[in-house]
Structure 1
């Protein structure tokens, strides 16, 4: 039998190992990050909230919904102060709050059922879930903050049901306000969770004056954001004409792909434990339906199944044979201390060994060449693939369409072939590229090195030989007089 001190040391060591395996450099691997930083810097430098697109072929004439402005300001401040290591500091703080939030979910779930709240095995489960979330979803994007806020909102929502204290009311309203201004597109999740709580209170006849006021203020707080109702209903923008389906993260999950094996295991585990975790509770049933729907709908929405599996697994652990024998005094304070030490080591490594942008994934050397041949203070017009355009903007170029769909799916961006700027960016690097270049008049075109030989020869025939070849691809200089 392992004594208490040894067991605690084992848990501390496991925490350190798992967190250190969440290698900092992988949190930067997202094309949207560059775009978010650039928008945040622009807003800080100009003292304004953006309602129009910047650094595009359209001279700031396209409308933009600032549905993520809070996140953009945060990462721009960190980047301007500390560079890429500064952004990892935000990642580390979010990871700390996420692990603590997921474990708190398990405690809340057990508390609802009158069970002992702390269970050391559940902490190990939470660590494993967090590791998967980190590698699948925790890149430098707004969801890094909003996922944490949504988890804690849910925690306080359930605590409020059991004890309608003023502190929970205040926290629920503040989190609703924060989500609406940091990542407004997912605020609808807050709205749905609150609606479930209202239905539960109505069914159980537990409505009180405080609960009515709290739920009303949660909804009102969500509407208090710089983008207004358009920010909250952002999903209607990106799904217009199914534009979102052109992006991988909105596609249905291919559970047969080995890359999605952890997702398949998660789904099968979740389905298998449902008979043991419903407890004939209306809220759990409604919540289960919502999580199943989100979990299988798309790569993007699958995140919510990862976030809330601990809530359901918390009461399942007691039916697993022999698990009841594992009881380790693992307090929240000790847990937070070990997590903080491990994340501090990650932060230190991020500063000692700063990440470098992968020059095969993004046109790093290609943009260096373009800027070297562009007069200082001038932003060259650069046509690049959809996934790399955010980086081009970040480096100092004007682009046709950045790493986001909005605002380039608007009718005002339609051009040759009747395609919007987003469609031209997605379809353009093909036989259509000469027509798009003739219409949009870029100074340079950056093509990736994985283009077919036939396409490359066609482009050489139209544009001349590339003026530069780099690790990412080729740079064509467009002669506008021909």
Structure 2
């Protein structure tokens, strides 16, 4: 906050706004509220993923039944199969917010999580580098979040990820055991999203770093080992128990499902990828300023970059965690490398303009949220096609597109498949995709086995050609988003 301090020294007065301008919390608050407002104003963009719909439905089921399901209550193909949602706490948050505020509810929850995440990161960076550089770093991080900024459980876990990593790094810097209150963070994280395993792994990596580099390995091990044991115990305190710890390994073993789900695909560098820009800035800074970094932190960052290049699902990890890991070393070197001789002066009216602009932005977001967020025309919500099928008097099992499963669950209709690939498993997903891709033998086999009475698919599905040629099937609806076929009674 040196710029504001300089301005204050040259513009004396008793203006309360000028007094606030010297407070770091004032600028962090403006940043956080402004960011919340910007994200809220693009609310419909946060709701575009079909999985958001079944997460909301699962949260409402938990609230209505006052229990976490132990078996699948939604699909007909796997109804009653073992399914314990590992993201139940996030789903309750999304479900409750939707019940209270409509579509504005999940938008508020998501915008709040993202703004808190970046504000906490900015606060950490300000410990080591100048405000301008800290803001640039935070903006660069925000770019890595854009593709995955959705009203889904992983976003709600971001603040805990940053808080966890930041305080582990601070503990290492101070040569102390991490505070035990972090165990509460791990407990909440473990019930919000499966990425908590990354937090356990990060704690283990920093513990190993302490043992290897502090010069008294036995003492370091005695300091960190109890914390690591309690961290694992906190991770076990979920409805899934040990299965929660094993869940990431179960998913990583589903090679076929991961190969067809877009968010598990590697980034396609034939089009712009935010991680590419992030890597370019980091490499330029490292090469231009010649930063020297601890080998252990370089290895940790390489691991996160590897994950980000393996799957777009992990694109945010380098942006969120690398600054936390590297800044204790990079910060002092950056301060030494950049020493401006001329201190910039801020015009006396600029503070008022900045504050006013933030207030206007916040007010605009409140008005927009109060009026409600529209989410009725989403391509993952085939409302018209479902109405047409219902008007045709159809009922019973449906052969649906993967992307329509979330909306079917949200609407109280049991789908054949939805975004819970971990429930269905590789074998079923492979068989379903063969039918969806137009394999007539597999399609007819599924129809007989599950007594399919109607179909709800995207217009581009190859299965439509097969269904149109089956005896007794007729088309009842077609638009740009969905086609519905029913079996004549």
Q: TM-score, normalised by structure 1?
A: 0.81
1:401 maps onto 2:417 in alignment: yes
1:4 maps onto 2:7 in alignment: yes
Residue 343 (structure 1) shift = 5.4
Which of 429, 434, 454 is 1:427 aligned to? 434
Which of 340, 356, 367 is 1:348 aligned to? 367
Alignment map for 1:374-385 (pairs within 5 Å):
380-385=396-401
Counterpart in 1 of 2:456? 446
Contact 1:96 1:336 in 2 (8 A): no
Which of 113, 125, 139 is 1:127 aligned to? 139
Residues 398, 209 of structure 1: alpha-carbon distance in 2 compared, 3 angstrom cutoff: same
Residues 475, 326 of structure 1: alpha-carbon distance in 2 compared, 3 angstrom cutoff: farther
1:197 maps onto 2:200 in alignment: no
Counterpart in 2 of 1:63? 82
Alpha-carbon distance between aligned partners in 1 of 2:345 and 2:112, rounded to the nearest angstrom: 26
Root mean square deviation of aligned Cα: 3.5
Alpha-carbon distance between aligned partners in 1 of 2:444 and 2:404, rounded to the nearest angstrom: 19
Residue 74 (structure 1) shift = 1.1
Residues 4, 161 of structure 1: alpha-carbon distance in 2 compared, 3 angstrom cutoff: same
Counterpart in 2 of 1:245? 259
Which of 162, 173, 188 is 1:178 aligned to? 188
Residue 104 (structure 1) shift = 2.9
Contact 1:146 1:182 in 2 (8 A): yes
Which of 74, 83, 89 is 2:108 aligned to? 89
Which of 438, 445, 460 is 2:468 aligned to? 460
Alignment map for 1:206-285 (pairs within 5 Å):
207=220, 211-242=224-255, 243-255=257-269, 257-260=270-273, 262-274=274-286, 279-285=292-298
Contact 1:200 1:282 in 2 (8 A): no
Counterpart in 1 of 2:160? 149
3-state SS of the aligned residue for 1:305? helix
Contact 1:62 1:408 in 2 (8 A): no
Q: TM-score, normalised by structure 2?
A: 0.80
Alpha-carbon distance between aligned partners in 2 of 1:363 and 1:169, rounded to the nearest angstrom: 49
Contact 1:164 1:210 in 2 (8 A): no
1:105 maps onto 2:131 in alignment: no
Q: Deviations over 1:288-317 (max 9, x none)?
A: 222222232211122201213433466364
Contact 2:207 2:221 in 1 (8 A): no
Contact 1:443 1:478 in 2 (8 A): yes
Contact 2:385 2:482 in 1 (8 A): yes
Alpha-carbon distance between aligned partners in 2 of 1:268 and 1:430, rounded to the nearest angstrom: 39
Alpha-carbon distance between aligned partners in 2 of 1:138 and 1:122, rounded to the nearest angstrom: 21
Which of 386, 402, 406 is 1:390 aligned to? 406
3-state SS of the aligned residue for 2:425? coil
Contact 2:68 2:84 in 1 (8 A): no
Of 210-219 and 235-244, the range deviating more from structure 2: 210-219
Gaps of 5+ in 1: 111-116, 330-334, 411-418
Counterpart in 1 of 2:61? 42
Q: Deviations over 1:361-398 (max 9, x none)?
A: 431211233345569xxx74222111121111111211
Which of 468, 474, 479 is 2:483 aligned to? 474
Of 401-410 and 282-291, the range deviating more from structure 2: 282-291
Which of 434, 439, 446 is 1:436 aligned to? 446
1:30 maps onto 2:49 in alignment: yes
Counterpart in 1 of 2:312? 299
Contact 2:140 2:278 in 1 (8 A): no
Gaps of 5+ in 2: 12-17, 347-353
Contact 1:196 1:286 in 2 (8 A): no
Counterpart in 2 of 1:332? none
Alpha-carbon distance between aligned partners in 1 of 2:345 and 2:397, rounded to the nearest angstrom: 61
What is the aligned residue count? 448
3-state SS of the aligned residue for 2:169? helix
3-state SS of the aligned residue for 2:457? strand
Contact 2:36 2:115 in 1 (8 A): no
Alpha-carbon distance between aligned partners in 2 of 1:47 and 1:15, rounded to the nearest angstrom: 34
Counterpart in 2 of 1:416? none
3-state SS of the aligned residue for 1:238? helix
Residue 153 (structure 1) shift = 0.3
Alpha-carbon distance between aligned partners in 1 of 2:31 and 2:63, rounded to the nearest angstrom: 41
Contact 2:50 2:403 in 1 (8 A): yes
Q: Deviations over 1:178-218 (max 9, x none)?
A: 111111x2122111111122112212036286544333322
